[in-house]
Structure formats: structure tokens, C-alpha cells
Amino acid sequence: QPLHQTSKQSESLQRCYYLLNQTSRSFAAVIKELHPEIKDVVTLFYLVLRALDTIEDDMTIDPSIKVPLLREFVDKLNEKAWTFNGNGPDEKDRIVLVEFDQILTEYHKLKPEYQDIIKDITKKMGNGMADYILDDNFNLNGVETIADFDLYCHYVAGLVGEGLTKLMVLAKFSDNSLAEDGFKRSNSMGLFLQKTNIIRDYHEDLEDGRSFWPKEVWSKYTDSLPSFHKDTSPESEFQGLSCLNELVLNSLGHVKEVLEYLSLVKDPSSFNFCAIPQVMAIATLATVYNNPKVFHSVVKIRKGTTCDLILRSRTLPGVISIFREYIQVINHKSNVKDPNYLKIGIKCGEIEQFI
């Protein structure tokens, strides 16, 4: 490539960065700081999966159309200029599908090894999402057991961890050790983010006509999941909080592997990229813990807190101190009457011992 062209981004690559900025403030910020060798490939990986998730999330697409579309989505990566205009007008990230041809143009310029990793993960994720699409009766193919919960989260987030790990190893930004555990810790990196997202989005997801809270857990506390929103009696709220807290306890089960994973990421820009979402997740988990607002709105962490956390996430000791702080916050918010009070105390103690 002639020297005068090396700094020039093609039109379609510029458009891809525009799409990245449009669809995620937080991912855009960390992806744009990545080393040039992996920045474009991670951007395209993100955009391909964002497009797939925009199909999954769109409740105006009938399951009879959505399911085959999710399963066949990977085939679109072999096309030159596929686009999709079938999203509802309110779907916030529909632009990535309307302009998917721009993504394809840049995807096909990637090294074949990178394309293969993206393709493999996209195929598995699309099929996994399809397995969990609810039918119109709202109760078929849902997240029933805790094993389902882990499997659904593996498809939509654990696989992202696996793919990103493969990319970082291939690009030599990380040594093999990250991939030598059968992607167990990469999976936990995704599951910790996804479970936190699912817990926080209780109300929004129900309003959109879906839910990912596992029935095996909520059925211990109610015979109908929406009751935590609808029934505002103190008894119902207590059952709701017990259920919520049991899910937080489940998520805390991934913290050890998350910190182990982060301890193995050596490249500084990759470390930030991996660490910042995890730090946001533990802060979110501490905020939603034992918090009845979850049943009525989306609980968000404060802007100032976010900035402070990002600044402290640059090193492993910084990340560990953040986790320690939020584990203490969770421990202090516990209610002795909660049925999992002891288990939560033990889990927090275990994590504090570990770090």
C-alpha cells in the first residue's frame, strides 16, 4: 500500500465508525482506543452482532419470520451488499441493518482468519437466539431452568467473549493462556455482563413482551413474574427482592473467573477494553441489589460514577479495588430476612478472600 494511502480510511470504513458511535457510547469509547491491528476487526465484529441483536430484539417481527432470519443471518456474511429494511420504525439500532452493505464491504477486507472467527460466532449466536424466541403465548421456548439461563447467556454473550479472546490471541495481544481453559473464563466474562443486563432490564423487557429471568428461580417467589411490578404490597415486594437477590447471587458466581481473565490480559488497550464493561457491571449489580426500583424502571449508575470508574480501570489493582468496594456495598445492603442472606454473605466473603 502506498504511503500516502495508509492514513486514509475508505468511505465505508468511516461509515462503520459512524454506525459504531450511533449504536453504543460505551462500546464505541473502548473500541476506538484499541490497538490499530484489532480496532477495525473488533468494530466489525461488534456491528455484525449488533445487527443480529437488532433482529432478536425487534418484537414487531413475527416469530415465524424472525426465527429463520436469525438462523440464516450468518449466510448474509457471504453476500456483497445485503441490507434489511424489515425492522419496526422505532427499533433504535435499525440503521446497522439498513446500511449493512457498508459493514459487508469492510468485513470482506479483513484477514480471512478474522472473518472466520466472526462467522463462526455469528452462526452459533443466531441459532442460539432462535432457540429462545418466545411464541405469541409468551411461554414457549423461554428461559425455564438455570441451565437455560446459562445457555442463553452463553449464546448471546459468552460466545462474544470466546470470539474476542480468539481475536486477541490470533493478533498476539494476549498469550495462549487466555484460551487454554476451553473458554471457561471468556464465557464468564460474557455471562457476568449479560446476567447483569437481564436483571436490570426486568421491567423494560416485560414491557416489550419478553423476559429472560429463569422460571426455576422466580417460581420460588411468585406464580407470575409480572406480579413483582403489578402487585405493590410489601409482601410482594419482599418476594420480588428475594428473587432479584438470588439472581445477583448467581451472577456473583462469575466474579472470580472474570478477575482471573483480566489478570491474564497484558496489552494495556485490550485490558481497558475488557475491564471497563466488567467494572460497569459490578457497579450496576451493586445498584440493583435489593433495590425495588428494578420492578418499575431501568436503574442506571450515575454519570459521575461512570467517569470515576473508567479512570480507575486502567490497571488490575484499580479494577480489583473497585470490585472489592462494590462487594462491600452489596454485603452491607443485605437484609437478614432474605432467604439467601447467608449464601450471599458467604459468596461476598469468598470473593474478598480471593482478591
Interface residues with Mn ion (CB under 5 A) are 53, 56-57, 197, 201, 204, 208, 296
Q: Does 288 bind ligand PS7 (CB under 6 A)?
A: no
Closest CA to 96 of 78, 76, 113, 114: 76
Residue range at the interface with ligand PS7 (CB under 6 A); choices 11-19, 61-69, 138-146, 185-193: 185-193
C-alpha cell, 10: 475508505
Region for residue 209 given its phi and psi (left: phi exceeds 0; alpha: psi -120 to 50; beta: otherwise): left
Q: Are 151 and 143 in contact (CB under 8 A)?
A: no
Q: How far apart are the first and last CA of the chain?
A: 48
How far is C-alpha 109 from the geometric centre of its chain's CA atoms? 27
Cβ closer to Mn ion: 277 or 318?
277
Q: Has 152 been annotated as catalytic? A: yes
* CB 10, min distance to ligand PS7, A: 21
Q: How many residues of this chain interact with ligand PS7, rule: CB under 6 A? A: 23
> According to CB under 6 A, which one of 15, 21, 32, 57 is a site residue for ligand PS7?
57
Q: Are 70 and 129 in contact (CB under 8 A)?
A: yes
Residue 153's binding partner among Mn ion, ligand PS7, none (Cβ under 5 to 8 angstroms by kind) is none
Residue 284's binding partner among Mn ion, ligand PS7, none (Cβ under 5 to 8 angstroms by kind) is none
Residue 157's binding partner among Mn ion, ligand PS7, none (Cβ under 5 to 8 angstroms by kind) is ligand PS7
| Rg from Cα positions in the chain | 21
Residue 164's binding partner among ligand PS7, Mn ion, none (Cβ under 5 to 8 angstroms by kind) is ligand PS7
**What residue type is 261 in one-letter code?**
Y
Q: Is 334 exposed, middle or buried (0-12, 13-18, 19+ CB in 10 A)?
A: middle
Q: Does 255 bind ligand PS7 (CB under 6 A)?
A: no
Q: Does 211 bind ligand PS7 (CB under 6 A)?
A: no
Q: Are 138 and 145 in contact (CB under 8 A)?
A: no
Residue 208's binding partner among Mn ion, ligand PS7, none (Cβ under 5 to 8 angstroms by kind) is Mn ion
- Please calculate the CA angle 215-221-227 and round it to the nearest 5 degrees: 85
Q: Does 193 bind ligand PS7 (CB under 6 A)?
A: yes
Q: Which of residues 132-171 bind ligand PS7 (CB under 6 A)?
A: 156-157, 160-161, 164-165
* CB 82, min distance to ligand PS7, A: 18
Residue 70's binding partner among Mn ion, ligand PS7, none (Cβ under 5 to 8 angstroms by kind) is none
> According to CB under 6 A, which one of 194, 211, 251, 287 is a site residue for ligand PS7?
194
CA–CA distance, 328 with 332 (Å, rounded to integer): 6
Give the Å distances, CA to CA, from 104 to 96, 110, 239: 11, 10, 48
Length in residues, the chain: 355
Q: Are 151 and 177 in contact (CB under 8 A)?
A: no
Residue 137 neighbours by CB distance under 10 Å: 6
Q: Please identify which of the residues 200, 212, 221, 326 carries the catalytic annotation.
A: 200
Cβ closer to ligand PS7: 294 or 344?
294
Residue range at the interface with ligand PS7 (CB under 6 A); choices 46-54, 131-139, 227-235, 336-344: 46-54
Cβ-based neighbours of 298, under 8 Å, separated by 6 or more: 200, 201, 203, 204
Q: Does 49 bind ligand PS7 (CB under 6 A)?
A: yes
* CB 185, min distance to ligand PS7, A: 8
Q: Please identify which of the residues 45, 192, 202, 273 carries the catalytic annotation.
A: 273
Q: Are 298 and 201 in contact (CB under 8 A)?
A: yes
Q: Please identify which of the residues 17, 27, 152, 295 carries the catalytic annotation.
A: 152
Q: Has 46 been annotated as catalytic? A: no
Binding site for ligand PS7 (CB under 6 A): 27, 42, 45-46, 49-50, 53, 57, 156-157, 160-161, 164-165, 186, 189-190, 193-194, 197, 201, 274, 277
Q: Which residues are part of the catalytic machinery? A: 152, 200, 210, 273
